[in-house]
Structure 1
Amino acid sequence: MSLWVRALSATAICVALTVGASAADEIQERTIRWGHLNNTDHPVSFGVQKFAEILLAKSGGKMKVREFAASQLGNELQQQSALRGGTQEMLSASTTSLATVIPEFGLIDFPFLFNTTEQADALATGKFGNAMLDTLPSKGLVGLGYWGLGFRNVTNSTRPITKVEDFSGLKLRVIPNPVYLESFSAFKANPVPMAFGELYSALETRTVDGQENPYTVILSNKFYEVQKYVSATNHTFTLNIILVSKAFWDKLSPTEQRLMREAYAESRGYQKEQTRLQTEKALAELQAKGMQYNAIAPEETERMRKAVQPVVDKISANLRPETVKLFNDEVERIRKDVK
């Protein structure tokens, strides 16, 4: 028997052992294009690579993921449109970007909801998070689940943020989303909606004074080169949602769909741990590279929370009441039960 034939036989055996002999016939050769905004040294990319590794093994080498990092396929809204149109297969994007098609996703962006990663994770994996996944197929999308990117923190080139008054007059790039725009307006800052790919240049030229993102994003994109201060505002926890084009999903066999879901489930813990490790490492490296870090006193965080409460009330009033109630009930439960 030739080496080529032996290799082919080994692959067939691997597939049979992984998914069962009859199900192996349902797996086709596929290349899945997965886009996201982050660089390849970021926990999102680590998660994509782990998912790809698991799916490749489970499918006996037939289902391959091709990663397009660092906005190669466009910004999140452009990639989301490509998924809905069936010209791109997968995307890991902030839940914020989905608020343009399903406004209730904006609830996740409400500031100062939680104090710990575990609490944010409980929201994503609980009744509310699952209910939001159920809304996606009607918009041409399938959600496999969520990844956590960490708490967002403010950087700027003007002064440290220690109290709500320190935001006054600062031009801060924010995600083009009503929650972010109105929240930072409530702080008396000047929020500037801007695509992420334009941000470094805007910081460098002082078109904006600062921005807000998790520490891992700040480090990976070298914002320390054009920003002096990093303040632990911890105002929101960023969740990424793992999206699949429904047009692509509907072409998959039940076995292929199952393998996709299993690859997500098995990669999730790894991605979560990488986010934790890289967040700790990123903050230390930002300080080592010269950024001035400051924490914020609990009483000042509470003042910030009160300043944005009218924004929370206003936006909630314009969303589906049953979804808002489910969200509020879940947040209350989690604050009480999860540390």
Structure 2
Amino acid sequence: MPSRRSFLQTAALSSVGASAAAPWVARAQAPIALRFSSSMLADDNAAHFVWYRSFETALKASTGDRFKIDYFPNNQLGKEADVVQQVKVGSIDMMVTGSSIFATVAPEIGMLDLGYLFDSYAHAGKALDGSVGRQLDGILNKRSGCSVLTWASHFGARSVYTKAPVKSLAEIKGVKLRVLPTPAFIETFKAMGAIPTPIPFGELYMAAQTGVVDGFEHDAATVLASKLNEVTKSCWLTEHLFSPMVVVIGKRGMGKIPADLQPAFMQAVATATAQQRTIASQKSTAAVEELKAKGMTFFPMAAAERAAVRAEMQKSLWSGFARQHPVTEPLFKAIDAARGQA
């Protein structure tokens, strides 16, 4: 089979004129193939897929058939920790995931998992679209060669779901809550007085059903999709974590994109994020309403208690994190400064 170079040379020589040949050669160019991994299903209720679909549509509208995005959902290319390494070496070009997994490569990104850091996804977007996001991207790029293309949203903030009603800091004391097995999550709930209990997500339904835990923390859309409302009937709207969704591309993946197509590529990224954030907000609201219809009771967290917990987090967890990772100290300040601007 002739090489791509010899194919184009033959095509050019056989043309009757450069003006006639140029459009034909452009059409004959092989599309730029990018392998894109996700841990979620290819489903309209999956935050990853919603972003990917918007991105693919926007990219095709601006570049035609110049790109071929091969989307691999549902961990088809491996577990997220393995995919991170494959993006680093270039065997996978892009991945969409929660920000937490990249703290294994750049621990500074773990700051985004600290409780009560953000007040809303609008607040998170304001900070991450600005200097905070750029600096975290720079840290990741220096450590791994990977680049953050964008920070998007999951389908709602994480709150506390329990079998018996919990409506205050006094009532959360001593409650066994399933949490993610990361220091940020564990220390957040210790500071609130709960008993954080790391359990794999696949075992959560049974653990709540049998009383191994009294509840858990998660977002409403996941609770609904996983039918966890069958084993818990109460939600305390702590909204303790507005976890960013991040799209990352490896050095080799970025190198595949010609300079003349990079503006269109990045514009498609921006368009997808704007659309996905709007859809994420709508999905979050719809999930809460559906859970209410299925018998879930929601209790807002008192503003005074939220402020008190955030102050405690700032004094202990955030300052401790900044001492461990000094480069994050100005990032915490920038996030705080963006608090009233979103």
TM-score range, shorter chain: 0.7 to 0.9
Query: 2:211 and 2:72 mapped to 1: Cα distance?
Result: 29
Paired letter, 1:163:
S
Please tell me whether the aligned partners of residues 203 and 226 of structure 1 are also in contact (alpha carbons under 8 angstroms).
Answer: yes
Aligned equivalents of 1:234, 1:23: Cα separation in 2: 51
Aligned match of 1:153? 159
Q: Is the 1:155–1:227 contact (alpha carbons within 8 Å) kept by the matching residues of 2?
A: yes
SS at match of 2:336: helix
Displacement of 1:221 in angstroms is 2.7
Query: 2:286 aligned with 1:286, yes or no?
Result: no
The answer (yes or no) to whether the contact 2:32–2:257 under 8 Å persists in 1 is no
2:51 to 29, 47, 50: 47
Name the CA distance, whole Å, in 1 between partners of 2:272 and 2:265: 11
What is the alpha-carbon distance in structure 2 between the residues aligned to residue 126 and residue 104 of structure 1? 17
Distance 1:38 1:303, change over 3 A: farther
1:307 Cα deviation after fit: 4.2
Aligned to 1:167: 172
Alpha-carbon deviation of 1:296?
1.6
Q: CA deviation at 1:99?
A: 1.6
Shift of the alpha carbon at 1:199? 4.0
- Is the CA contact 2:37–2:77 (under 8 Å) kept in the aligned structure 1? no
Q: Which amino acid aligns with 1:124?
A: L
Match of 2:109 in 1: 105
Equivalence for 2:16 = none
CA contact (8 A) 1:114 1:120 kept: yes
CA gap of 1:63–1:220, structure 2 versus 1, over 3 A, is farther
- The residue type paired with residue 102 of structure 2 is L
The whole-number CA distance in structure 2 between the counterparts of 1:163 and 1:193 is 22
Structure 1 gap segments, 5+ residues each: 1-19
Q: Which range is displaced more, 46-55 or 307-316?
A: 307-316
- Farther off after superposition, 306-315 or 270-279: 306-315
Q: What is residue 88 of structure 2 aligned with on the other side?
A: 84
CA distance in 2, matches of 1:90, 1:146: 14
What is the aligned-residue identity percentage?
Answer: 26
Partner of residue 123 from structure 1, selected from 110, 127, 137 = 127
Name the Cα RMSD after superposition.
Answer: 2.7
1:213 to 2:218 alignment: yes
SS of 1:114's partner is coil
- Find out whether 1:226 has 2:231 as its counterpart: yes
CA shift digits 1:248-282 (9 cap, x unpaired): 22233324544432221111111011011111111
The letter of the residue matching 1:250 is G
C-alpha distance 109-31 of structure 1, shift in aligned 2 (>3 A): closer
1:286–1:70: structure 2 CA closer, same or farther, 3 Å change rule? farther
Q: Deviations over 1:206-250 (max 9, x none)?
A: 443322222222223322223222210011211111112323222
**TM-score normalised according to structure 1 size:** 0.82
Q: Deviation at 1:73?
A: 4.1
Q: How does 1:22-101 map to 2 (within 5 A)?
A: 28-37=31-40, 40=43, 41-101=45-105
CA distance in structure 2 between the aligned counterparts of 1:104 and 1:196, rounded to whole angstroms:
25
Instruction: Pick closer, same or farther for the CA change 1:71–1:287 going to 2, 3 Å.
Output: farther
More off after superposition, 128-137 vs 75-84: 75-84
- The answer to whether the 8 Å contact 1:151/1:234 transfers is yes
* Aligned equivalents of 1:214, 1:21: Cα separation in 2: 51
Q: Which moved more, 1:230-239 or 1:301-310?
A: 301-310
Name the amino acid aligned to 1:216.
A
Against the structure 1 CA distance between its residues 291 and 306, is the aligned structure 2 distance closer, same or farther, given a 3 Å change threshold?
A: same
CA contact (8 A) 1:179 1:315 kept: no
Q: Which has the larger radius of gyration?
A: 2
Change (3 A) 1:316 1:265: same
**Post-superposition CA distance 1:34-67 (Å, at most 9, x none):** 3133662133321111112222343423423343
1: distance between equivalents of 2:206 and 2:74? 15
Amino acid at match of 2:58: I
Provide, for residues 264-311 of structure 1, a one-character-per-residue CA deviation record: whole Å limited to 9, x for no partner. Answer: 111111101101111111100011112221112112223333443422
Residue 144 of structure 1, aligned match among 127, 143, 149: 149
Shift of residue 125 of structure 1?
0.6
**Partner of 2:13 in structure 1?**
none
Aligned to 1:192: 197
TM-score (norm 2): 0.81
Q: 1:202 and 1:39 mapped to 2: Cα distance?
A: 28
Q: 1:39 to 1:239 in 2, by over 3 A?
A: same
Match of 1:315 among 318, 321, 336: 321
Pick aligned residue for 2:265 from 260, 263, 272: 260
Q: Secondary structure of 2:238's match?
A: coil
Counterpart Cα distance in 2 of 1:316 and 1:292: 37
